[in-house]
A and B are shown apart, each in its own frame.
Chain A
Amino acid sequence: MDCKDIKEILTQYSLDDLGQVEKVGVERHLEGCRECKMFLSQSQELWSLLDTWEEIEPGGKFVSNFWDKASIEETKLQPGFLGKLRNLKPNWSLAGAMASIFLVSVLTFAVFSPDTTNTLFTSADEQDELILMELDDALSRETADVLSIYGPWDDTLDVSGNGDMN
């Protein structure tokens, strides 16, 4: 350990807060290093110097003065009827929350309620859809026979006979 390392742990050394190995290391270093020795001495001297900053003695009425203050505060904290009325400030966050709930309910009703005046899906549309579904069904069977109903028809074929119209 060099001087820099020693100085880093000198406070702990003087507070007897080092492990045995480190403690012995510091002591061995101090034997041969006057700079660190003086540094330790000044560090300890400083700690004692701080003790010369004397304490102050409190006045004898600390506790009773405290209770006087506490009771004055309590009176301040309990307002009369007018005071309470004055303290009734509008609660903007609550008002905002209620307005939001109202708005959401109105919108929900508008979107999901049955609207009879503006029908978007008529019975004609329903029939068209049934035809399309039938065609779809037929195409999916993918048989020439089935598809033949949609042409093209070859004149050479005997259509008068057993044309399978399934």
Chain B
Amino acid sequence: MESDIELMLRTKAGDDSAFSELMNRHYKGVLNYIYRFTNLRENSEDLAQEVFLRVYRSAKQYRPEAKFTTWLYKIATNVSLTYVKKKNKNVSLDEMNENTGEVEDSGVEISDDIIYRKEIKNVIFSAMESLPEREKIAIMLCKYEGLSYEETASVLECTVGAVKAYVHRGRMKLISKLKPYLTEEEEYGL
């Protein structure tokens, strides 16, 4: 199988099929990364395409110095952060016009499991969103995107030790934020 770098070099030489292959490999990961950043399913696909457009546009200047995934997630992080910051600027205005909570289709019976999963998803998103940016990104890349500490360090432009510290600190904060969803002391019979 051709490496990402080989495919990117073929893209640089004008072979669009190589770029399609690269997208097939990575779009699901990028899409979910953005989705977890924004918690908005409908915008995630557009933003993921924006990420690949940026990569495609800069293919001519591509030099295979860093790992492709690192470069890709760096761009995805920038696109997500820009989007979130822009969205948060308008959030107070949006909140005024928004209804309370999501409206469910009353004709469909929703199981407790779906309600729980929907709730837990929003709860995790809020907890993650409250973390400092770097802790959040470090956890998302290591936990959900399966990037190594080294790769995450490269995306965040910091040391591996710093990434470990971000993950640890973020994890500690998430424990206290998500305590109601974790087993209590008495339940362990301690």
Q: State whether A42 and B183 are in contact (beta carbons under 8 Å apart), knowing that A52-B117, A53-B124, A62-B48 are contacts in the complex.
A: yes
Q: State whether A66 and B178 are in contact (beta carbons under 8 Å apart), knowing that A53-B120, A54-B117 are contacts in the complex.
A: no
Instruction: Write the nearest CB–CB distance from B28 to chain A, whole angstroms.
Output: 6
Instruction: Confirm or deny: B174 has a beta carbon within 8 angstroms of a beta carbon on chain A.
Output: yes
Q: Which of B111-154 contact A (CB under 8 A)?
A: 117, 120-121, 124-125, 139, 143-144
* B172 adjacent to A66 (CB under 8 Å): no
Q: Which residues of B contact A11 (CB under 8 A)?
A: 164, 167-168, 171-172
Q: State whether A52 and B120 are in contact (beta carbons under 8 Å apart), knowing that A43-B171, A45-B183, A66-B52 are contacts in the complex.
A: yes
Q: For the side of the interface on A, what is the size category?
A: 20 to 34
Instruction: Confirm or deny: A148 has a beta carbon within 8 angstroms of a beta carbon on chain B.
Output: no
Dominant secondary structure at the A interface:
helix
* B27 adjacent to A58 (CB under 8 Å): yes
Dominant secondary structure at the B interface:
helix
Number of interface residues of B (CB under 8 A): 41
Instruction: Confirm or deny: B16 has a beta carbon within 8 angstroms of a beta carbon on chain A.
Output: yes
Instruction: Confirm or deny: B95 has a beta carbon within 8 angstroms of a beta carbon on chain A.
Output: no
* A58 adjacent to B28 (CB under 8 Å): yes
A positions within 8 Å CB-CB of B: 7-8, 11-12, 17, 34, 37-39, 41-43, 45-47, 49-50, 52-59, 62-63, 65-67, 69-70, 73
Known pairs A63-B24, A70-B56 / 20 extra A-B pairs, C-beta < 8 Å: A11-B167, A12-B164, A34-B190, A39-B175, A41-B183, A42-B179, A43-B171, A47-B171, A49-B120, A49-B124, A50-B143, A52-B117, A52-B121, A56-B32, A58-B27, A62-B23, A62-B49, A63-B20, A66-B49, A67-B20
